[in-house]
Chain A
Amino acid sequence: MAMEVEGEEMVTPGEVLGKASDVKAGRGAYLAPHNKTVYASLTGRRIVIPPSPASPDQRPTVEVTGHKAYGAVPELGSVVIARVTKVMAKMASADIMCVGPKAVREKFTGIIRQQDVRATEIDKVDMHLSFRPGDIVRASVLSLGDARAYYLSTAKNELGVVSAESIAGATMVPISWTEMQCPLTGQIELRKVAKSGG
């Protein structure tokens, strides 16, 4: 979609961007249901994105692009980068560090359960052979979880450990989807490795 900057319009929170029948609310904008008007929720530049020709809804999308955005919050289905902090028999704890391309300013806690490590042979998963504390893991948010932590899943091929250190302290090289090798000692360690990771 081509981005079209309409004029030099800067908006602040609360300013009217258009009617709900004319435009759709995108990032940095919200729809007030009581009077069907789209308002800005951030400070920044107003941007109108024309609809794609195939779309049945021919209203353009209006967004507000600010130079400051609050730190990312994990959402359902988003891909996160996390650091494993604790490995137990049935789950592993991880601190979420990035949500998609955005860094999290403050850490959020996530949990990878035994049944969410891989899609095959779920009963035979050994947590200690899948993760180690300190590993960097790519995972997707399965749900917002319980009151304690987000539930993360590494069941897809491109999810799993993307970076790990060996006992000798070197960053290991992935050699298969279950193995990583230390370049210094040649020692092979078992991990749930992400595809094209590392």
Chain B
Amino acid sequence: MEFVSPEGLRLDGRRPMEMRQIRAEIGVVAKADGSASFEMGNTKVIAAVYGPREVPNRSQQISDQALVRCEYSMANFSTGDRMRKPKGDRRSMEISLVIRQTMEACILTHLMPRSQIDIFVQVLQADGGTRSACINAATLALADAGIPMCDLITSCSAGYLNSTPLLDLNYVEDSAGGPDVTVGILSKSDKVTLLQMDSKLPMDIFENVMQLAIEGCKAVANYIREILLENTKQLEYRRGT
């Protein structure tokens, strides 16, 4: 199968280094302390943040910092096959742990001792790159909740098909069996907080693919900052300050 045409266009018409359209919205869940929805192409994710709140399970309480918990789930209707997955399957647990570790790296947990921050992420529509979209949605939701963070974490994926590095794979490209690199970085300080890869890749090509993913992360970070600043200006306008 051909994923990049000789003219350099992908199956959906993008260039190899082009991202899908990004759309984000803040404050979509009224009852949550912070919430956001995030779309990357046809992948739609919604995130809600509750907290800091009291830790209900005392044995898990940390005396000098906040406990971060994350729950990832995919809606039954989010893929082509309507699947009825039991809660806590391996993939959900793995992605929950990945999101939790990524968010723990950027939340200033020492400011909120003995409390708990809950992040709930739900995939409404999956078209590849779901974990990147989940991390971006969680970052937006945390910023909406006013939880202090050292930086904004953004995530993006990249792949390598037909001897070409591709940015922001969709489902068809992801299913092609080629390598898939997911990177999460702190956007201003350029520190990598998440790095995952499937399949094999030579080191020199891996560096190219990773560099491409990092540039995708920075593009997402610029967009997220615009959304946050626009939302803050609107709030200020409504408050009249």
A, B from the same assembly: yes
- B131 at interface, CB cutoff 8 A: no
- A148 at interface, CB cutoff 8 A: yes
Determine whether the beta carbon of A67 is less than 8 Å from that of B235.
yes
- B146 at interface, CB cutoff 8 A: yes
Determine whether the beta carbon of A13 is less than 8 Å from that of B150.
yes
- A106 at interface, CB cutoff 8 A: yes
- Please report the C-alpha to C-alpha distance between residue A41 and residue B61 in the assembled complex, in whole angstroms: 24
Determine whether the beta carbon of A108 is less than 8 Å from that of B54.
yes
- B189 at interface, CB cutoff 8 A: yes
Determine whether the beta carbon of A68 is less than 8 Å from that of B51.
no
Nearest CB to that of A43 among chain B residues?
B228
- Please report the C-alpha to C-alpha distance between residue A158 and residue B61 in the assembled complex, in whole angstroms: 32
Contacts of A14 in B (CB 8 A): 149-152, 186-189
Contacts of B146 in A (CB 8 A): 42-43, 66, 68-70
Determine whether the beta carbon of B149 is less than 8 Å from that of A41.
yes
- B108 at interface, CB cutoff 8 A: yes
Stretch in B112-120, B157-165, B166-174, B198-206 with 4+ CB within 8 Å of A: B112-120
Contacts of A67 in B (CB 8 A): 232, 235-236, 239
- A30 at interface, CB cutoff 8 A: yes
Determine whether the beta carbon of B150 is less than 8 Å from that of A41.
yes
Given contacts A41-B108, A44-B232, contact A147 B150 (CB under 8 A): no
Nearest CB to that of B61 among chain A residues?
A147
- Please report the C-alpha to C-alpha distance between residue A59 and residue B146 in the assembled complex, in whole angstroms: 26
Nearest CB to that of B188 among chain A residues?
A14
Nearest CB to that of B235 among chain A residues?
A67
- A100 at interface, CB cutoff 8 A: no
Contacts of A32 in B (CB 8 A): 150
- Please report the C-alpha to C-alpha distance between residue A30 and residue B189 in the assembled complex, in whole angstroms: 14
Question: Which among A10, A12, A41 has the greatest number of chain B C-beta atoms within 10 A?
Answer: A12
- A22 at interface, CB cutoff 8 A: no
Contacts of B79 in A (CB 8 A): none
- Other-chain contact of A70, B51, B106, B225, B231 (Cβ < 8 Å): B51
Contacts of B186 in A (CB 8 A): 14
- Please report the C-alpha to C-alpha distance between residue A12 and residue B186 in the assembled complex, in whole angstroms: 13
Contacting A at CB under 8 A, from B16-39, are 33-34
- A residues neighboring B (CB under 8 Å): 10, 12-16, 28, 30, 32, 39, 41-45, 66-71, 73, 105-109, 144, 147-148
Nearest 6 CB-CB pairings of A with B = A14-B151, A106-B53, A68-B146, A41-B148, A14-B188, A13-B149
Of the A-B pairs whose beta carbons lie under 8 Å apart in the complex, a sample of 28, sorted by A's number, is A12-B143, A13-B143, A13-B148, A13-B151, A14-B151, A15-B188, A16-B188, A30-B148, A39-B188, A41-B148, A41-B149, A42-B143, A43-B229, A45-B232, A45-B236, A66-B146, A67-B235, A67-B236, A70-B51, A70-B112, A70-B146, A71-B33, A71-B51, A73-B52, A106-B54, A108-B54, A144-B113, A147-B63
